[in-house]
Structure 1
Amino acid sequence: MTPRLRADIWVAAYLRTVRLQGGFAYQRQRGADEAGAVLLKIEQPARTYTVMSIGYVDGDRTWMRSTGPEAVSEQDADDYIQRRLKTDPDLWVVEVEDTQGRHFLTEPVEGENN
């Protein structure tokens, strides 16, 4: 089993990756440094959003579309994030703005050919 990367290190590296590839991202909520879960709020074209979180499929770490397969309104995305924060105060939240709606993840993403 591969050791899990600390959340603070993963978020810092992700923010840098997004910026280096021409997107804009910022940390909206700081969670627990070592073991906090991460939510990504990804802006899609037409100002719709997808919230993504880590899940496991057949034992493999995979990013899941937590708000469903279709993009949602910003209000729906923010409502989902607030519900999660109420039950998990150690949660990290990162927002990504990109005119092409890219998520910049290198790990597998649910529903994409990886």
Structure 2
Amino acid sequence: MSRLAAHVRVSALLRRTHDAGGSAMVLAKGEAMGGAILVQMLDRGTPAGFCERGYGPDGVPALIMAGPADADSQTAGEYWQRRRRNDPDLWVIEVDVAAPQRLVAEIIVND
């Protein structure tokens, strides 16, 4: 089974976030087809951590929490910039919306 291209997932995430009354922006553009996507989540302005697509213990795609959970903007920026240095294909997206984890899981995890 083929996976959706990263740029398609990012576009869908931006659109769904805006449709839900939130804001979203690309902080760093990654590889269009296969780049991983790291999402910095804010719940109406309050830091809600980072997440990315990964695999659960059962081998099924899942939303995996990553990085500092409630980092201030400087710490959060340092985290994703360090990740980008190690993986220049990585997309970094910031979403600020009510219940961001649910919305991100819909787009990032599901094929």
Q: Normalization by structure 2: what TM-score?
A: 0.82
- Paired amino acid for 1:102: P
Higher helix share: 2
The answer for the alignment partner of 1:61 in structure 2 is 61
Tell me how far 1:101 sits from its aligned partner: 5.0
- Paired amino acid for 1:40: V
**Whole-angstrom CA distance in 1 between matches of 2:107 and 2:79:** 23
Question: In structure 2, the residue corresponding to 1:96 is in which secondary structure?
Answer: strand
State the Cα RMSD in Å.
2.1
User: Do 2:9 and 2:108's aligned partners in 1 also have CA atoms closer than 8 Å?
Assistant: no
Give the number of equivalent residue pairs.
106
Percent of counterpart pairs with the same letter? 31
The alpha-carbon distance between structure 1 residues 37 and 79, as it changes in their structure 2 partners (threshold 3 A), is same
CA offsets per residue over residues 23-67 of structure 1, 9 Å max, x none? Answer: 110111111011000011111356334111111112111111102
Q: Normalization by structure 1: what TM-score?
A: 0.80
